[in-house]
Structures are given as C-alpha cells and as structure tokens.
Structure 1
Amino acid sequence: MVTPTNPTPGPNLHIWRVETGELVKEFMQKRQIGWAPQWSSDEKICARSLNNDVLFYEDANFESEAHKIHGQRVGNFSLAPGTPPYHILCYIPGKSGQPSFGKLFQYPKFENTSFIASKSFFQADRVDMFWNKVGSAVLLMTSMEVDKSGSSYYGKQALHALTCKGETAIVLLSKEGPIYSVEWSPKCAEFCVVYGFIPAKATLFNLKCEPVFDFGTGPRNAIYYNPHGNNILYIEFYITQLLEKADCQFLL
C-alpha cells in the first residue's frame, strides 16, 4: 500500500500454490484492465501482460519467462482453452487513422508474420473475446464507448470470428443496436447472439458465421445453453423499482 511513509508501492499481484499455501511469486501490475494471469487448461503455461508485451511461463516456473510476444503493442489477449497446441488471440489497437487487428498465434510462434489468422477492423475502444470450449475458434467483439454519429445512446459494436484453421469472418447481424450476449454451444460448432434494440433479436450461427436459425424478436438479453447443447435458455434481466427481475424463455 502506498502511504506518505511508504511512497514506493510493492508487488500487488501474488501467485499462490493451492495445495500447500506457498507464495510462489509476486509481481508489480499497473494495469486495471487485462491484468489477470491466464493459464492453459492443463496449467502447463501461464501468460500475463506487461506493458504492451505478453510473457509466458512454463511448468509453474515464474523466475524467468519461457517465451514472450514483444514489440507488437498488444492491448489485450486471451489464451485458448483446450489441449495443445496452445493458441493465443491478441488485440492490437490501431494508431490514429489506422485499423486495429486481432491476431491469432500458435504458441510459441510469435514472430510478427507467423500468425495463423488476422482480422482488421476500425471503431474499437475495447474488445471482448469468446472461445469455444475446445479452443478451435474464437469470437472477437469490438466496442466503441460512444456512437460519434449521434444516432444511438449505445456505442458501436461488431462481432468477428477467427479459427485455428486460419479462417476469418465478420458476423453480419440483421438488426441495429447493441450486442447483449454471445454464447458458444457446448458442441462448439455453433454460437448464438442476442442483439438489436429491444425487442432484441436472437440468431444461431454456424462456424462460417452463416445464420442457420432465426429465433425472432422478444424480451431477452442473455443466453444460456444446457451442458449437452440441445437446449437454449433466453433470459431478460431488467431493473424495476430498484429490484432486479428476470423473465425466462426455454427453447427446446
């Protein structure tokens, strides 16, 4: 903690070994967004951000990084779930007047030209990344905090897709408005999006980002699949008289 008598801050990111309670390593982390370390599903590698780099550690050895993504001005990243080979999606913000990029790498091949897939886009203040559970495809949602055209209270949003086979696409949404919810099917071959001004629309897409079923419009802003991927639950959360309420709709 920084105090008048202790003006130099100490480490604020601590990694503990759960089995023994041992403090494994401490780091200084200055970022408020994207600061959390990420582990692969088998915990073989751990990744964390440092300035605009991404550092990777192997086998819980935090004394020195095994590999790193350096010199690419990474604004945010997401480590894929699933089994090796490991994949990492990086968001690289564009400079003034230049596009931003989402670049998909296979660990540990991080040279600037060795990416598996790359998607460029404009109008992005921040991004959210959604992997399917096996880590073979990822959705990248870009957001602008403010709609500079003044046509909407909400900022502009768009949804892009990248796969570990090198395929990229933009998800074309057929109704104007915000994106409320994005959810992968547990089967990993399709995903559902709730979007558009209320009443919101819900559409099911395949891996090619082609719409395969339109659920129409209704009062909804969240999606949940059952573990088998054969049922979808749509829910509308809203605030009335300071109370949170929920309306539920099951689609079998």
Structure 2
Amino acid sequence: MMPNEIQFLDPKDFAKGILSKIRMPGIAAMQLATAPGSHVAGFVPEAKGVPASVQIFSSSKDAQNQVVARRSFFRCSTVQLHWNKGSNGLLVLAQADVDKTNQSYYGETKLNYLTTDRAFEGIVPLKKDGPVHDVQWSSSGSEFAVVYG
C-alpha cells in the first residue's frame, strides 16, 4: 500500500514491478479477501467533515477501479476488516477514539456488514448498546460470532 493507492505485485517475481493499482486518496488500511484474486477492501478515515468510508473493489485487473460496495461512517478513526471464507461478506468494526454521546470513556464502536453483491450494506443490529469487543467468522464463513455490551 502506497499513499493514496493499493498496489498489486507478483510475489514470485518482484522485477515485474507493479502489476496493477487502485487509486484511493487518503487510504489508511486495506485487507485482501481470503479467496485469491477476488476482492480488496480499503479504508479512508474521516477528514475535514468528510465521513470515513470502506470501499470494496474487485481484484481482477479488468474491474479494479470499480467500487463493488461502499459504506460511510461519521465518528470513525480506525477499522478492523474481517472477510468471510467465501470472500463475499465483510465485517467492519468501526472505532472512534472519543464517544461524543459521553456513554463510554473508551470511545465508540459499531459493527457493520457489507456484501460484494450489495445485498446488505449497514449496521449489524445488536440487542444491546455498548462496545463491540471482538468479532470472528466461523470456519464455514456463513455465520459469525460477536462479543459486545
């Protein structure tokens, strides 16, 4: 990852240089999907009143600069990105250093879910308010567990 872009290289032959790249101004984090050659997610933090965002791109050379899915967040400084086994679902744990609602000294967390087919892009509804401590996909990738509250 270079400033403002994700670069793809061939680990078997670095002499080939950059094979392809995705331009994403302000990118601070990225995560490749678990299925090789499928998708990549990138995170741009909140800046100057513009909300933070996570964007999913196809990893194939032909469709690389096309956004497959996108989610924007206010009050978000960092994220944890978790792909499922099939690489068609992404859990995004959005974190803010400060809780502007003054409900927590430790900041604020929200769990979001995005799918590569855009069937779902939003907050995971949890039965209780409070911080999200951990989230993990099952080995099948069809369900996940979350520790929160």
Normalising by structure 2, report the TM-score: 0.88
Aligned partner of 2:78: which letter? Answer: R
Deviation at 1:71, TM superposition (A): 4.6
Say if 1:142 and 1:159, in contact at 8 Å, map to a contact too.
yes
Q: Which residue of 1 aligns with 2:106?
A: 154
Say if 1:154 and 1:177, in contact at 8 Å, map to a contact too.
no
Aligned length: 145
Aligned partner of 1:51: which letter? Answer: P
Aligned partner of 1:116: which letter? Answer: V
Matched, 1:75 2:28: yes
Q: Which runs of 5+ in 1 are unaligned?
A: 1-48, 197-252
State how far apart, in whole Å, the 2-side matches of 1:190 and 1:138 are. Answer: 11
Q: Which runs of 5+ in 2 are unaligned?
A: none
- Which one of the candidate residues 114, 126, 145 is aligned to 2:78? 126
Identity of aligned pairs, percent?
32
Aligned partner of 1:170: which letter? Answer: I
Say if 1:83 and 1:134, in contact at 8 Å, map to a contact too.
no
Aligned partner of 1:131: which letter? Answer: W
Q: Which residue of 1 aligns with 2:90?
A: 138
Matched, 1:65 2:18: yes
> Where in structure 2 are the equivalents of 1:163-174 lying within 5 Å?
163-167=115-119, 168-174=121-127
3-state SS in 1 of match to 2:67: coil
State how far apart, in whole Å, the 2-side matches of 1:139 and 1:191 are. Answer: 9
3-state SS in 2 of match to 1:130: strand
Say if 1:147 and 1:156, in contact at 8 Å, map to a contact too.
yes
Matched, 1:178 2:135: no
Structure index of larger Rg: 1
Q: Structure 2 vs 1, CA of residues 123 and 69 (structure 1 numbering), >3 Å: closer, same or farther?
A: same
Normalising by structure 1, report the TM-score: 0.54
> Where in structure 2 are the equivalents of 1:183-202 lying within 5 Å?
183-196=136-149
Say if 1:91 and 1:102, in contact at 8 Å, map to a contact too.
yes
Which string of whole-angstrom CA distances, capped at 9 and with x for unpartnered residues, describes residues 157-192 of structure 1?
111111121232210222122111101112211111
Say if 2:46 and 2:75, in contact at 8 Å, map to a contact too.
no
State how far apart, in whole Å, the 2-side matches of 1:88 and 1:67 are. Answer: 13
Deviation at 1:59, TM superposition (A): 5.1
**Greater relative contact order, per chain length (Cα 8 Å cut-off, separation 6+):** 2
State how far apart, in whole Å, the 2-side matches of 1:136 and 1:151 are. Answer: 34
Q: Which runs of 4+ in 1 moved over 4 A?
A: none
More helix as a share of residues: 2
Say if 1:184 and 1:191, in contact at 8 Å, map to a contact too.
yes
Aligned partner of 1:191: which letter? Answer: F
Say if 1:52 and 1:72, in contact at 8 Å, map to a contact too.
yes
Which string of whole-angstrom CA distances, capped at 9 and with x for unpartnered residues, describes residues 65-88 of structure 1?
00112253211100001244x200
